Structure 1
Amino acid sequence: MLNESNLHEYQRTAVQHIIEHPYGALLMEMGLGKSISTLTAIKKLMDEYLEVNKVLVIAPKRVAESTWSDEIAKWEHLKGLTVSKILGTEKQRKAALKAPADIFVINRENVVWLVSHLQGYWPFDMIVIDELSSFKSSKSARFRALRLVRPKTNRVVGLTGTPVPNGLIDLWSQLYLLDLGERLGKTITSYRSKYFRPGRSNGQIVFDYKLNSGSEEAIYKQIGDICISMKAEDYLQLPERIDRTVEVHLPEKMMNQYLEFEKDQVLALENEDGDISAVNAAALSNKLLQFSNGAVYDSERNVHDVHAEKLDALEEIVEAANGQSVLVFFSFRHDVSRILRKLKSYHPKEIGGPEDIKAWNEGDIPVLLAHPAGAGHGLNLQAGGHIVVWFGLPWSSELYQQANARLYRQGQNKPVIIHHLIAKGTMDEDVMKALAGKIDKQEALMQAVKARIQKWRK
């Protein structure tokens, strides 16, 4: 069993940062141990400083189900910390809320319910927001609910990865939950007007914002006293990472069908000016990426299989793994059913609750299917395997990196092999280029769609 002496020096720094700052954030990349640093600080604040009695941890659902309690079980110095999980039905949540415990873990979707249920009463003297970025929208119900009770809480810790320039527009609401607007302003409007300028717009509607010159440095300077930022590459000896592009060639007849499908979809959405909205661009992208994967939804959500080329390529990789476990990331629900049928003899399974995570890490699941949004944060899967296959890719580089970090992280003792199934000549190639260049997902998507409009206009 691990004990406090096993903490890395940078983790000790993070522990001290939490203790010394009543509100603050650990902007630490995947694998650096945000959870253990926070739990160690909580234990000290309870036992040594006598400042904390009840802690509320808000986390993604799967992380709430297992990660925090599992972390406590691994460390000797955390012995004695008790956890109650405010999950499940309303009856189960109410019972968990009444249970005697030090740490209460709730999934972020139930924050609104919790605040409403307590009706002004707030028993928690410390809040930990695991994945602070999930509160990036100042218009969301979860942000507004937490904003109501924030003044009643003595200590707040936000945990997330290191912000990137394209994500700084979303930083205001996250910081507000820490310092109540002291550093970045009391309103999102004042924050935007000070550090950003409008980007793409249509009349009074602004689709995105661009950083003003010098704003990135100015923002980091403003929040630097309460945020500790660390990059994995500076602190960890990560395993070797091998990225492979597996080109999937559609038969000539099928490729012609794809091009005809692309043409029809583009021309159906184009308006008289040749412009296209962000919503329509995303819809078009989804259609084309579905075709690339091998099946498409019609308007009534019926699935139509169009090819099995990616399924064949995936089966070859699983076969070549020769019994080693494979983690497969999918994009669409129809991907799951088709993969389960194709790989039936390998006993594949879609990730569900904590029991699946445990089974994977013990080597009992040969092929595990996961959506990057569902497995992108907080899950430790590195013990179960070292082979990743992207059956379909997301436009978001953050989502892509977070998902890869389920295996490519500290504690992995084998080289991590990441396969990308790319249908040659399709929108798959545009997504792969965007991820390689770490381009803003919205900008990359719009560029790809506009290129297709120009092509079919000609």
Structure 2
Amino acid sequence: MKLQPFQYVSVKSAYEKKRFLIAHDMGMYKSAQAVFVDNVIRRDDTDTKALVVCPNSVKSKWKDEIETWAYPRGQEVFDLTVDSYQKWDGTSEWTIVHYDFLSHGKDGFIRKMKRNGFDHIILDEVHNTKNPSAIRSQSIRSLAEDPEYVTLLSGTPVPNTISDVYMLMHLLEPQEYPLSDSPDINREARQKFEAIYWNDPQVFKHLIQRKMIRGNAQDYIGHALPQWKERNVMLEMDGRWLEAYNDVLEKRLHPGKKIKQLEKILLDTSLADQSLITNGLAVSPKYEKLDEIVESETKRGKVLVFTHLKEGIVGKLERRYANYGAVSISGDVDVANGERESIRRKFQTDPRAKVLISTGVMNEGVDLTAATAVVNLSLPWTPAEYNQRIKRTVRPGEMRKERVTVYNILAQYPGDARKSLDQAQYDMLKAKERVVDYLMSGYKLTREDLLNMDGRSTVPKIKNSIKTTNRIVLDYYMKWPSIGTDGALRRIKKNPEVAKQIAEMYPNYSGAKKAASIYVPVAEKLAPSEPWLDLAGGAGMLAYHGGHPTYILDINRANLKVGRGKLGLTYSTHAEGTFSSLPYRDGSFGFVNLSLALHIAEPKKERSIVLQEVNRVLKSDGSAIVVVPSQHFDDADRNDLMDNFRLYGFECEDNHANVSSSRMDLYVLRKSGKAAPGVIKMSFAGDRKRGK
């Protein structure tokens, strides 16, 4: 190979700066450049010993690279494995070891390797060493401590979060960015770096500009690359698929377990824990869409399918696409005996092998250029993994083609109420990609982008996607007590999309259902033939569960829209307004419902006004129900509330505290006269905790 100008610059820089990162795009011959760096080193010292640390999947490739480009010819290469390490004596010019081997620490063998005195260490796909406290990172840090030359290779050096790059920075400048054997000291060092980064995001770029070279493949070898485009294939969830997803979504599970179960359901409901699902029938719409893609794409090329779930997936898909000569590679495939390379080469060269199903083991460092389509059945969790998948095919290699299509098959949650885990994960990847672009180039970004990279913005989006409906609605309304009409309007106006989301979810909120189970039977008994008024009625839970003509008044237009549309309350009248200024004539109703609303009113004046308004619109013998959350009141508050009801023209005919598992207080009121004209402060225990 004759060095291209950009490759010559890489080799010269790595040799002169001694600790250096070659971060060219995938397919730009980084491994060959690292061998050329070694050739220059070996020119000065013919006894140079080199160590290559790489993913297990590319060890055979590294042997080929060394045999092809190392000079002088005939240098010995020792493949260091669990089976061979006891035979290793350190005399070979080259030693190759994979990262997983270093993860075990092997009975002091790392110390033996260190004593051997390597002169040049090459760390391929160096982003695999992101956690300084991991055993493999400690092993690498120890091995890289003494050599004069350390060459780092990665097309995706920033794997996920900004803290992940600290190990990379340590390898490039160990004195400036120290690490030790103490996890506490390492944690403190990373935290200090993060603090510096937040004050000056350029700090990483300053180092990278000194110690890294990065080339865009399109700029340098675009003539040899296929064009590629990304297509998101959105599948709206419905039927049993949606039911199974909601079954798990509404369970109270550890977040890690819930995410894993939701991932399985999005791919194939039969993979999930069936004890969590009401209807156990297998549903897998993603497979059906994959069938269409395979049928279409194999007419002119080959399809590479990625899934990070292995059990129950890889074998099933291989059988499903047996007519397309499907082959598969997962973590079970033996690397040492060449089985993985044999399967890879079959996909590359056998015209009958039109489909390859792979887990993450083929994300890195291998040539899969026979593929004309890449299908992500499930998304990886980091931008680095996502880009590694695509660049397996979009690179110069054994096969040439004009284009590659990347299909992301994503489940879409119906409506606007929430996003599926797929949607939230995709948004997270794209947000983090934006920041990686900034760190690796001159791209500008906002503070929001920094939050995305650090996970402070994107991680909550993932958490929200797996929260139960109850949790989301409850978290939203937990901030509403005492805010009053003005505060509620400001909150709705500030974030109308969230208000809309909560409106969509509220009919499925168990707290609303339980409240309805309390007040609907009472309403039916008190006013079976009178029109009902539901104040702060939301979408109209009283009308929906009671099946009775109801006037529904609410401050949030989105709630009323859900009532008219989703709940189909055509027999009710909806009005946008506030409970402190009712748009109804005196004595219009025989029954008024004030459920989960009085505690939201402002304490100094508005609560009094609300009770006055309820009294005004009730008929002379009309009834009202007040439902409030028990935890907002103590016993003294309950006594005061009874006095306030009497003050504003009501007799309490019945009351119950801590009703139902949601703990609500119920008051059944009868209008006994006119309300007092003045207003008083009505403050409860929940208000006092908030300082109101």
- Bucket of the pairwise TM-score, normalised by the shorter protein: 0.7 to 0.9
Q: TM-score, normalised by structure 1?
A: 0.81
> Secondary structure of 2:362's partner?
coil
> Secondary structure of 1:28's partner?
coil
Counterpart for residue 467 of structure 2 = 453
Q: CA 1:23 to 1:52, structure 2 compared with 1: closer, same or farther past 3 Å?
A: farther
Task: Supply the distance in 2 between the matched residues of 1:41 and 1:388 (Cα, whole angstroms).
Answer: 34
How many corresponding residue pairs?
419
Shift of 1:332: 1.0
Counterpart check, 1:182 vs 2:137: no
Deviations 1:311-367 (A, max 9, x none): 222122222222622110012122213212322222322124222222222235321
Deviations 1:107-164 (A, max 9, x none): 1111254682264432422111112221111111122223334344232212123544
Task: Supply the distance in 2 between the matched residues of 1:356 and 1:452 (Cα, whole angstroms).
Answer: 37
Matched ranges for 1:298-309 at <5 A: 298=273, 306-309=282-285
Q: CA 1:25 to 1:328, structure 2 compared with 1: closer, same or farther past 3 Å?
A: same
CA contact 2:11–2:37 (8 Å) conserved in 1: yes
Task: Tell me the amino acid that sits aligned with residue 395 of structure 1.
Answer: W
Matched ranges for 1:279-428 at <5 A: 280-295=254-269, 296-298=271-273, 306-320=282-296, 321-322=298-299, 324-333=301-310, 334-351=312-329, 352=333, 353-363=340-350, 365-371=353-359, 373-382=360-369, 384-411=370-397, 412-425=400-413, 426-428=420-422
Task: Tell me the amino acid that sits aligned with residue 409 of structure 2.
Answer: L
Matched ranges for 1:14-413 at <5 A: 14-46=10-42, 48-50=43-45, 53-64=48-59, 66-72=60-66, 75=69, 79-87=73-81, 89-90=82-83, 92-95=84-87, 97-98=88-89, 101-111=92-102, 112-113=104-105, 116-117=108-109, 119-120=111-112, 121-164=115-158, 167-179=161-173, 181-186=174-179, 188-189=186-187, 191-197=189-195, 211-214=197-200, 216-237=201-222, 238-250=225-237, 252-265=238-251, 268-269=252-253, 280-295=254-269, 296-298=271-273, 306-320=282-296, 321-322=298-299, 324-333=301-310, 334-351=312-329, 352=333, 353-363=340-350, 365-371=353-359, 373-382=360-369, 384-411=370-397, 412-413=400-401
CA contact 1:249–1:424 (8 Å) conserved in 2: yes
Q: CA 1:114 to 1:17, structure 2 compared with 1: closer, same or farther past 3 Å?
A: farther
> Secondary structure of 2:109's partner?
helix
Q: Of the two, which has the highest radius of gyration?
A: 2
Counterpart for residue 202 of structure 1 = none
Deviations 1:405-458 (A, max 9, x none): 100123453201111222232422222333344354955343133255374433
Task: Supply the distance in 1 between the matched residues of 2:106 and 2:245 (Cα, whole angstroms).
Answer: 50
Shift of 1:55: 0.8
After superposition, the CA RMSD in angstroms is: 3.1
Shift of 1:23: 2.2
Task: Supply the distance in 2 between the matched residues of 1:178 and 1:161 (Cα, whole angstroms).
Answer: 16
Task: Supply the distance in 2 between the matched residues of 1:154 and 1:306 (Cα, whole angstroms).
Answer: 58
Q: CA 1:254 to 1:109, structure 2 compared with 1: closer, same or farther past 3 Å?
A: same
Task: Supply the distance in 1 between the matched residues of 2:12 and 2:107 (Cα, whole angstroms).
Answer: 30
Q: TM-score, normalised by structure 2?
A: 0.55
Deviations 1:14-72 (A, max 9, x none): 111222123222233322221010011112322x22265221101111112x2212334
CA contact 1:128–1:159 (8 Å) conserved in 2: yes
Task: Supply the distance in 2 between the matched residues of 1:67 and 1:118 (Cα, whole angstroms).
Answer: 24
Task: Supply the distance in 1 between the matched residues of 2:466 and 2:80 (Cα, whole angstroms).
Answer: 48
CA contact 1:184–1:222 (8 Å) conserved in 2: no
> Secondary structure of 2:65's partner?
helix
Task: Supply the distance in 2 between the matched residues of 1:300 and 1:37 (Cα, whole angstroms).
Answer: 54
Shift of 1:165: 9.6
Task: Tell me the amino acid that sits aligned with residue 56 of structure 1.
Answer: L
Q: What is the percent sequence identity of the aligned residues? A: 21
Q: CA 1:455 to 1:152, structure 2 compared with 1: closer, same or farther past 3 Å?
A: same
Counterpart for residue 583 of structure 2 = none
Q: CA 1:161 to 1:300, structure 2 compared with 1: closer, same or farther past 3 Å?
A: farther
Task: Supply the distance in 1 between the matched residues of 2:381 and 2:145 (Cα, whole angstroms).
Answer: 37
> Secondary structure of 2:214's partner?
strand
Q: CA 1:44 to 1:291, structure 2 compared with 1: closer, same or farther past 3 Å?
A: same
Shift of 1:401: 0.9
Task: Supply the distance in 2 between the matched residues of 1:248 and 1:193 (Cα, whole angstroms).
Answer: 41
Q: CA 1:357 to 1:81, structure 2 compared with 1: closer, same or farther past 3 Å?
A: farther
- Flag structure 2 segments of 5+ consecutive residues without an equivalent: 180-184, 334-339, 414-419, 434-451, 474-505, 507-692
- Flag structure 1 segments of 5+ consecutive residues without an equivalent: 198-209, 270-279
